[in-house]
Copies of this chain bind each other. A is one copy, B any other.
Amino acid sequence: MDYQSLGASSQKEDVHAAIKDSGSGGGLFPGAFCKVIPDMLTGDDESCLIFHADGAGTKSIIAYLRWRESGDPAVFQGISQDALVMNIDDIACTGLVDSFIVSNTIGRNKFLVDANVIAAVIRGYETMAAMLEPHGIHVHSCGGETADVGDLVRTIIIDSTVMSRGKRSDIIDASNVVPGDVMVGLSSTGQASYEPMANSGISSNGITLARHAVLEHGYAETYPEILDPHVDASMAYQGRFHLDDPLPGEDMTIADALLSPTRTYTPILKRLLYGDDASTRIQDVVHGIIHVTGGGQTKCLNFGKGIRYVKDDLFETPRVFRLIKEEGNVEWEEMYRVFNMGHRMEIACTPDFAPKVIAASKSFGVEAKVIGRVEESTNPGKNELVISSPAGEISYGP
């Protein structure tokens, strides 16, 4: 099974090619993790803005199934967290981690999705705001739009757009990753001190592959609205699992595993970047922060120039990803392209600073370790990546 054949894409090459001549790229720091734009709202030359859109993708389909089977719409609160964190953790990679203004956009099929679901989605944003507030991270939920568009949307699609403003001097510009740096990974599993329960590590990427590999076909028969008829029938929901089945080897169900809300690392990044009154300028030691989302562990290939990323000590592959790999017969090479595989945030920093990164993460109960290092590329000017997988070394790019 592979991601492209299922109508999803981890790299969106065609879209990037189509829009490459538009004004969408660039910004003040073209190599930064997010596009950073001038502060057009105030005109202040020392400030900047990030305006960011993302969503929960097809994870809402699993929540929809869970809701239909259990009758409890609260499961959609996790989907709000997914949609929110896909934005705020991207923005946090640039060093802006103080205040986020959020608008949500929901498209629903009114024949299938009632207003209790919409209410749960809204509550989810408010719950996240309350969770982050004690850590000095202000999430302002400003409403949004719910459209009834059943001829467009089979069930429900949930997106967020987030605005943040900060000082240009605070920006972490991932183009500054240099040979000699180490890569510190922050675990996507376990339970952070600010989280109410343990996380499978799944996040919001690769869910199309996860759904079709793990969930049994009966779901598509009972709920045909969860399937694009253009997906090859031999791949559509070809798994062996019910949502209530246990995730083998873990104390959670398949539903828990696939619906674990995307962890936010913002409390950790805030403490790391702004917690110290050290004389060190943070950009002198933290050269890049990479959110392992679309593109999975290969996301780093987009940052720095002439870099060879060597990831030779990844976390053990979390159970949920092992299950997806086994059930979907997914190649390791594809798994690392699609999923975070154990850490969803990575920090390229000087070797001396790595212990501070690890300590900041562990102070919130999130495992962290040096998972690799940065070398000079063997292919001048191009980035490359080598991952030590359980099946041996895998090379990516250029």
Contacts and interface: CB of A to CB of B under 8 A. Distances in A.
B53 A105 contact: yes
Contacts of A112: 230
A135 B41 CA distance: 18
A18 B111 contact: no
A58 interface: yes
B15 A103 contact: no
Contacts of A40: 99, 101, 138, 140
Contacts of A345: none
Interface residues of A, number: 78
B230 A101 contact: no
A151 to B, nearest CB: 5
A283 to B, nearest CB: 23
Contacts of A12: 146, 148
A116 B122 CA distance: 34
A15 B104 CA distance: 14
Number of this chain's copies in the assembly equals 2
Interface stretch (A20-28, A246-254, A273-281): A20-28
30 contacts: A7-B150, A7-B151, A8-B148, A15-B115, A15-B146, A18-B119, A19-B118, A24-B143, A24-B144, A35-B143, A37-B142, A40-B138, A42-B165, A51-B101, A51-B163, A53-B105, A53-B145, A54-B147, A57-B147, A57-B152, A58-B151, A60-B152, A61-B151, A112-B230, A144-B161, A151-B227, A151-B228, A152-B154, A152-B156, A154-B228
B145 A152 contact: no
A126 B163 CA distance: 20
A66 to B, nearest CB: 16
B115 A17 contact: yes
A161 B103 contact: yes
Contacts of A156: 152
Interface string A220-248: 00001011111100000000000000000
